[in-house]
């Protein structure tokens, strides 16, 4: 018969395993990544994660059962959000562990970015220094609603799809550092490619808002310009 100590340990590890089970599907991790940017309806999440609404809803219910996300009814739609900033820190830590332990992550990432001219990333600490010095334009190329939900302080919002038409809003005499949703997001890659083709000195920031929050750095919320 199990001892009280054994029953206690079994019960605790069973609860910890709930998080592992909830995050065991690639699409659920992608949904968490999207929700790190800000609240989303099921329909918006389904569209961005290339899922049917029914499948997205099922994945979100699993995440909700593990207390990683919360849902709120807003009119005809259900909006999901992260349960709190600890979930963002958990996601960033999981991503970092995978990068440190799984060579495949590095291989896939390197192959993708090297095929696009080895677009180097700029470290967060270096970006902060340059922002404070006033010698760089920080460009948020995510959708406007994500910028409103949270962005790097001082960042200018120009979604990547609008960038070509709004180049006159960017000063040419300063470097431009573009960021999006984190190291696996390609919107900043597309933005840097476009900017360099137009003669700008542009760089890609690997970190996104989730990384900023995980480090305890301030994230601003405001209306997009």
Angle CA(70)–CA(147)–CA(22) in degrees, nearest 5?
30
Strands across the sheet containing 77-82: 40-41, 77-82, 69-74
Q: How far apart are CA 29 and CA 44, in angstroms?
A: 16
Q: Do domains 4-83 and 106-214 have the same CATH topology?
A: no
Q: Above 80 in pLDDT, residue 124?
A: no
- Across 58-72, 109-123, 143-157, 194-208, the highest mean pLDDT is recorded for 58-72
State pTM to two decimals: 0.86
Q: How far apart are CA 182 and CA 192, in angstroms?
A: 14
User: What helix, strand, coil percent values describe the chain, rounded to 5?
Assistant: 55, 15, 30
Q: How far apart are CA 223 and CA 59, in angstroms?
A: 30
- Overall CATH class of domain 106-214: alpha beta
Each residue's pLDDT tens digit, 146-176: 999 999 988 999 999 999 999 999 999 899 9
CB 191 within 8 A of CB 178: yes
Domain boundaries, the chain: 4-83, 106-214
Q: How far apart are CA 140 and CA 158, in angstroms?
A: 6
| pLDDT confidence tier of residue 183, bands split at 50, 70 and 90 | confident
Task: Respond yes or no: is residue 185 known to be catalytic.
Answer: no
Helices and strands of the chain, counted as H and E runs: 10, 8
- The number of CA neighbours under 13 Å toward the Cβ of 213 is 26
Q: How far apart are CA 19 and CA 23, in angstroms?
A: 6
Kindly name the residue from 31, 46, 180, 205 that is annotated as catalytic. Answer: 180
Indicate the helix (H) or strand (E) that contains 90.
helix 85-101
**128: phi then psi, degrees, rounded to nearest 5:** -55, -45
Architecture in CATH for domain 4-83:
Orthogonal Bundle (1.10)
Each residue's pLDDT tens digit, 15-47: 999 999 999 999 999 999 999 999 999 999 999
């Amino acid at each position: 018969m199990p001892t009280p100590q054994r029953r206690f340990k079994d019960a605790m590890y069973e609860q910890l395993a709930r998080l592992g089970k909830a995050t065991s599907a690639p699409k659920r991790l992608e949904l968490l990544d999207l929700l790190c940017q800000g609240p989303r309806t099921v329909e918006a999440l389904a569209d961005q994660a290339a899922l049917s609404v029914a499948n997205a809803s099922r994945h979100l219910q699993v995440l909700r059962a593990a207390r990683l996300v919360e849902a709120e009814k807003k009119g005809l739609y259900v909006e999901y959000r992260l349960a709190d900033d600890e979930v963002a820190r958990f996601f960033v830590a999981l991503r970092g562990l995978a990068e440190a332990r799984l060579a495949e992550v590095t291989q896939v990432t390197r192959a993708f970015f090297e095929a696009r001219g080895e677009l180097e990333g700029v470290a967060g600490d270096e970006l902060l220094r340059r922002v404070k010095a006033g010698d760089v334009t920080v460009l948020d190329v995510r959708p406007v609603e994500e910028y409103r939900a949270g962005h790097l302080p001082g960042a200018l919002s120009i979604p990547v799809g609008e960038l070509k038409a709004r180049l006159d809003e960017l000063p040419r005499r300063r470097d431009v550092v573009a960021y999006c949703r984190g190291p696996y997001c390609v919107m900043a890659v597309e933005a840097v490619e476009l900017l360099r083709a137009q003669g700008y000195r542009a760089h890609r920031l690997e970190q996104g808002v989730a990384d900023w929050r995980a480090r305890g750095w301030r994230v601003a919320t405001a209306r997009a310009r």
